[in-house]
Amino acid sequence: MSDALDLTDAELCVERLAAHQRERRLSDASLVRLCPSLGSARTWRRMAARDWSALPLDVWLPRLREALALIDDTAAGSQPGPGQPPAALVTRHLVEADRCHREGEISLARSHCRAARQAIEQYQRLLRPATSTPATP
């Protein structure tokens, strides 16, 4: 079941990246230079053709998500504003935490998880209404 969900998620990511590529009229090589997590132009062409036989989803799905986060971050500006969720920053930290965990660097993975949590908490503080008005009896 999770394999089917991962495949669907990967295909949605590829579709969004391909739409970005079409909108910006980017070549495959230009898209890969913009999003290095996609690997090579040849790998990107395989993904765009939905040829997952040589591309393990457990490796490429986090990289696709990272590429989307990078594109979303670039389109929205590099710094999240007060009304904008820090999704790209959180996604980037979680992708790095996943990579570090797979490579056995547990303390570094924990650091990335902590940084993601701090970004979320900071955003939540921005969303809280100001409670400085005195209560009326």
Structural domain that includes position 16? 1-55
For residue 89, tell me if it sits in a domain.
no
Does residue 51 fall inside a structural domain?
yes
Residue 28 lies in a domain: yes
Amino acid (one-letter) located at 41: A
Q: How far apart are the first and last CA of the chain?
A: 56
Residue-level pLDDT, tens digit, the chain, 137 residues? 357 777 888 888 899 999 999 999 999 998 988 888 898 999 999 999 998 888 888 889 888 988 888 887 665 554 444 445 577 677 777 877 888 888 888 887 888 788 888 878 877 777 776 555 555 55
Residue 110 within a domain: no
Residue 111 within any structural domain of the chain: no
Domain count, the chain: 1
Residue 109 lies in a domain: no
Q: Is 128 contained in some domain?
A: no
> Do 37 and 88 touch, CB atoms closer than 8 A?
no
Query: Is 24 among the domain residues?
Result: yes
Q: Which amino acid is at 88?
A: A
Measured between alpha carbons, how far is 80 from 34 in angstroms, rounded to an integer?
20
